[in-house]
Structure 1
């Protein structure tokens, strides 16, 4: 039986100050403040876990803050695992939330949770803490993942029932000699697949704007009238090459983020629901995802029967729902994944695009075992001949008789 869920700072008083505590650490205000609170409580063995999946924050910055607050930092490079075991399945599942935007933190949270649990077990830790609050979907995704992973100790976020204002956190950190976090006007989350912004100046869906300098990948650098062609190759459901050059998925996504983003492509905005149905605004830039998801759909359409694709489109949203609700490690998501993998095994081909400012157009769709026609008139003639053949044979037999 798992220990009680931690939902408030008062529950931290029950921790044994002599046993290890693992906290997820992003280098942001919430996770830094939690380290401060643990230090003030006298917890002697705090381990701050940062899972590197291609985020914006530098390792040096995180190390500086964690060590200043008395924690041992663990920076775990999980970029290849994230791309291969989380992003790749999402591409095959066409993981787009309600047709609005590709999912992102939905994919990273289960990997972060697994990494924290692995470390906590190795250390013999008593708890795994994170800093998600009630207005963040991360709360149910991390708690859901930690539950399904069967973590034996306590876990949760003290911010769930004990929100602390931004100003309070800044004041207390400054008094402790930590003054590295001022000036942030939104909450950000980034990885090699997506850069995402929410809250702060983006709180109000009815009136919001993202300063252009917050975008990195999708800030247009191509000149008006510029264009280029680009080919994405897919083998058995996995993107494997750009312009015929094989590369790991991490490098492939990185290249597309910059090449596609140069034309101002890959920006998304949309509302996403919280645990009880309320909705919040999220802004994303995902140029690589923009082109990869479209490329995959084109190749898949060339390879799979129409009825199979119709059923797959329904199951894609089941996959998204289960992952989104924190059930990545749940039976239903895993079962649907088996269906996606079966379809992916038959999805091999390539798409050539012409990139231009404001859009991308296909120039060639190729499949290893295509279902498409390349010459309709020739096909019609063959189809008529095949349909007529039995009647011709029948007439010949009658004539012979």
Structure 2
């Protein structure tokens, strides 16, 4: 019989005090408060796991908080794996939520869950805990991933049925001499692909404004009349070079985030649905994603027939839906990935852009085996000549004499 899904703090009282527990730890208010509650309950062997996929928080900061709350911190560097196994497929899948914004935490949650399960199994941990609440899509994505990964212990978030006010969490942490988190005015999530903000001062879709200092990559620093020309190359669906310089995907994304963001490009805002259909506002900055997704579609259009792209566009949203709903490791997402990979195998080429403040224009779309025309008049002449050529009936093929 499977252990129960953890949905409340009262269920944590059933944990064995001396057996290991793994918690996902961002260094934020919710994950710090969970460590405090576990310490108060007498759970002595707590392992806080932080999966480094290019987030903002420093390791020193996280270590300071974890140590103050009696937990052992594990920082796992998964940046390259995140880029190669999660971001790269998302580029080929054109993973954009309902045409509004590229997905981001949708990609990170399966990797975070997988990393936590690996650590929990190595430790023989009795539970994997996270801190997502009902107004966060992370709840179903982490629970879905942990379920599909077949983790044998208990898992879930005690905040699901037991929300705790911000003021109560801050007061409890201050009383425990942990007073590091009070300055935050929104809930943030970051990785090498995206910086995302929600909640707090961004709760209300009808009235919201993001302080410009919160943006890091997309804060315009280029002069109004400045321009920049950048070329992105793809091989078999994978971004491989910028301006002719081969780069690993992590470095390629990092360079484009700053180079494209310097022109104020790559900001997104939009509503995303929760588990029961209600919608919440999310703000993102994703300059590299903006350029790479647009570039990929141009190269793809140069290489693939229109009917194939039309069918792929439908399956892209199936891929996004399955990943978004916490079924990254599910059969349907994996099946659509096979189709997308087959298309990606034929997607090789490059796009040159001219960047300017507030926008960008293509200057070149190039592929080695193009379906595009470079001289329409010459093509028309050849096509007409072929169509007008006299029809010659082929000679019949006679069977050989017996």
Whether the TM-score (by the shorter chain) exceeds 0.5 is yes
Partner of 2:353: 353
TM-score in terms of structure 2 length:
0.97
User: Match of 1:181?
Assistant: 181
Map Cα deviations across residues 283-339 of structure 1 (whole Å, 9 max, x no partner): 000000000000000000000000000000000000000000000000000000000
Equivalent residue number for residue 210 of structure 1: 210
Aligned to 1:379: 379
1:82 is matched with which residue?
82
Distance 1:110 1:385 in 2: 56
Residue 183 of structure 1: CA displacement? 1.2
* Structure 1 segments unaligned to the other structure (5+ residues): 395-401
Q: Which position in structure 2 is the counterpart of 1:50?
A: 50
1:388 and 2:388 matched: yes
Shift of 1:390: 3.1
1:215-241: CA deviation from partner (whole Å, max 9, x where unpaired): 000000000111010000000000000
* Deviation for aligned residue 1:80: 0.1
Q: State whether structure 2 residue 238 is matched by structure 1 residue 238.
A: yes
RMSD: 0.9
Q: Pairwise mapping of residues 2-401 of structure 1 onto structure 2 (< 5 A)?
A: 2-391=2-391
Three-state SS of the structure 2 residue aligned to 1:225 is coil
Q: How far apart, CA to CA, are the structure 2 residues paired with 1:393 and 1:173?
A: 89
Q: C-alpha separation between the residues in 2 aligned to 1:137 and 1:112?
A: 14
Structure 2: distance between partners of 1:17 and 1:140: 27
Structure 2: segments with no counterpart, 5+ residues: 395-402
Counterparts of 1:266 and 1:281, CA distance in 2: 17
Aligned residues: 394
Could you state the TM-score of these two structures normalised by the residue count of structure 1? 0.97
Contact 1:140 1:325 in 2 (8 A): yes
- Assess if the C-alpha contact under 8 Å between 1:2 and 1:151 holds in 2: no
How far, CA to CA, are the matches of 2:273 and 2:52 in structure 1?
27
- 1-side partners of 2:392 and 2:327: how far apart? 60
Query: Alignment partner of 2:197: what SS?
Result: strand
SS in 1 for 2:63: helix
Which whole-Å CA distance do the structure 1 matches of 2:101 and 2:22 have between them? Answer: 32
Q: Secondary structure at 1:340's aligned position in 2? A: helix
Residue 392 of structure 1: how far off its partner (Å): 7.9
- CA shift, 1:384, in A, is 1.1
Give the 3 Å change call, closer, same or farther, for CA 384–114 of structure 1 in structure 2. same
Q: Give the Å deviation of 1:391.
A: 3.8
CA offsets, 1:84-120, max 9 Å, x none? Answer: 0000000000000000000000000000000000000
In the alignment, the residues of structure 2 paired with residue 222 and residue 388 of structure 1 have an alpha-carbon distance, to the nearest angstrom, of 56
